[in-house]
């Protein structure tokens, strides 16, 4: 697994905790945490933002790859769930789960993906 690489444009807007990236807070409202993210397991590139930003916009504005080059995820902090979406590459999904665990997502959080996960989170995923 590659080292985490966060584009500098993103770093300007976040108080980044390099030891636990997913514990980072938004500079303009420190109650906000990472909600959506896109991760490229081969390069280690990690793009993230608060709620309201679409994955395609994050990737277009900040990424170095194409949309399908990334595992995309949503952090439901109150539900203690991270949902990975839009990819079927099992090794990449596993690498993303390992990256999350290494970077501040507790083992007490479920990291889930696939059709069953989408059905379980159907209401929360509307409009995302």
With beta carbons less than 8 A apart as the criterion, state whether 82 and 34 touch.
no
Residues with Cβ within 8 Å of 95's Cβ and at least 6 positions away in sequence, in order, are 1, 41
Instruction: Read off the pLDDT of residues 83-122 as tens digits, 9 standing for 90 and up.
Output: 998 678 999 999 999 999 999 999 999 999 887 777 777 7
pTM here?
0.89
Span between the terminal Cα atoms of the chain, in Å: 28
To which residue do tokens 């479920």 refer?
110
Instruction: Read off the pLDDT of residues 40-88 as tens digits, 9 standing for 90 and up.
Output: 999 999 999 998 899 999 999 999 999 999 999 999 999 999 999 867 8
Closest C-alpha to 22, from 104, 97, 98: 104
Other C-beta atoms lying within 10 Å of the C-beta of residue 71 = 22
Would you state the pLDDT for residue 125?
A: 65
């Amino acid at each position: 697994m590659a080292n985490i690489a966060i584009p500098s444009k993103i770093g300007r807007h976040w108080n980044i905790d390099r030891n636990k990236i997913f514990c980072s807070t938004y500079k303009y409202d420190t109650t906000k945490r990472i909600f959506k993210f896109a991760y490229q397991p081969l390069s280690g590139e990690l793009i993230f933002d608060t709620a309201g930003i679409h994955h395609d916009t994050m990737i277009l504005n900040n990424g170095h790859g194409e949309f399908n080059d990334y595992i995309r995820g949503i952090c439901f902090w109150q539900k203690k769930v991270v949902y990975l979406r839009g990819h079927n590459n099992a090794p990449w999904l596993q690498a993303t789960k390992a990256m999350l665990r290494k970077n501040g997502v507790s083992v007490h959080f479920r990291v889930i993906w696939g059709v069953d996960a989408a059905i379980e989170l159907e209401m929360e995923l509307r409009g995302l």
